[in-house]
Amino acid sequence: MILKDVDSLLYVDTDVLFLRPIDDIWDFLRVFNSTQLAAMAPEHEIPKIGWYSRFARHPYYGTTGVNSGVMLMNLTRIRNAQFKNSVIPTGLTWEEMLYPLYQKYKNYITWGDQDLLNIIFSFNPEYLYLFPCQWNYRPDHCMYGSNCKGAEEEGISILHGNRGVYHDDKQPTFKALYEVIRDFSFEDNLIQSMYYPLQSKFLDTVHTLCGRLPQIFLKQIEKTMKKVYENKVVVNIGANFRL
């Protein structure tokens, strides 16, 4: 409602790290069907150990709910949509709906805006596109054993360090990756100043469940490094050939 001239945006929590080019996530906007107006990843992959399926006292999306730490929003569609709701029998606009829904459920909400979004999309599932879990990878995907097949196959695209794991010792693999990226100077060599330090730090985390899968943390970084290297080679060869 505030950004009236903005068609689409990507909302992320402050504790996410992109392990591949940000441009790639925008491609999901192109695969929205005619009704979808936002995209999020599931809160969990396994209902029996998910938070919403065990503890929520309000409606939530699907069988495990969704996590709003990474969210694509087509604001044009959101502004024009009518949303089904539990307040009145007819549809409401986004602006009309938010405050009444909050008033109805405020005593049952634990996770703020994320819970409200779950309530909204529980009544309007056709409006939501689901990201695969590797686009919002959290400790929950490995701390009880690996349960994100997409990350195992393709690597992690976006790492979400919720629960404060970048700054404590509960999930050392997440903390190691955060610290290497924090200390990386973007003028430095990717392999020597990022990739090798990551490999070294990950050796100290193999005793943890998340640390047993270092390849899923490195796979997308490796692909990006390869692209950067190939582009440099092509540019240098092209420049030398022109000379």
pLDDT of residue 202: 94
The amino acid at residue 211 is G
pLDDT at position 241 over 60: no
**Strand (E) or helix (H) holding 205:** none
**Total H helices, total E strands in the chain:** 10, 6
Closest CA to 200 of 217, 176, 222, 219: 176
The confidence band for 152, taking pLDDT boundaries of 50, 70 and 90, is: very high
Mean pLDDT in residue range 21-43 = 96
Task: Count other C-beta atoms under 10 Å from residue 224's C-beta.
Answer: 16
**Bridge partners (DSSP) listed for residue 10:** 72
Rounded distance between C-alpha atoms, residue 184 and residue 197, angstroms: 10
Residue 235 has pLDDT above 70, yes or no: no
3-state secondary structure of 185: coil
Distance, in Å, from the CA atom of 211 to the CA atom of 65, rounded to the nearest integer, reads 26
Question: Do the beta carbons of residue 117 and residue 56 sit within 8 Å?
Answer: no
Residue type, 242: R
Give the model's pLDDT for residue 230.
82
CB-CB contact of 124 with 35 (8 Å): no
In this prediction, residues 41-69 reach a mean pLDDT of 94
Q: With bands split at pLDDT 50, 70 and 90, how would you rate the model's confidence at 232?
A: confident
pLDDT in tens, 168-205: 999 999 999 999 999 998 888 888 889 999 999 999 99
Q: What is the reported pLDDT for 189?
A: 85
Q: Is the pLDDT of residue 240 over 90?
A: no
Dihedral class, residue 62 (left if φ above 0, else alpha if ψ from -120 to 50, else beta): left
On the question of pLDDT at 238 being above 70, the answer is: no
Burial of 230 (0-12, 13-18, 19+ CB in 10 A): exposed
Averaged pLDDT of the chain = 92
pLDDT at 186: 82
* Per-residue pLDDT reduced to its tens digit, 72-123: 999 999 999 999 999 888 899 999 999 999 999 999 999 999 999 999 999 9
Which DSSP symbol is given to 125?
Answer: G
Q: Which of 18-22, 51-55, 170-174, 223-227 has the lowest mean pLDDT?
A: 223-227
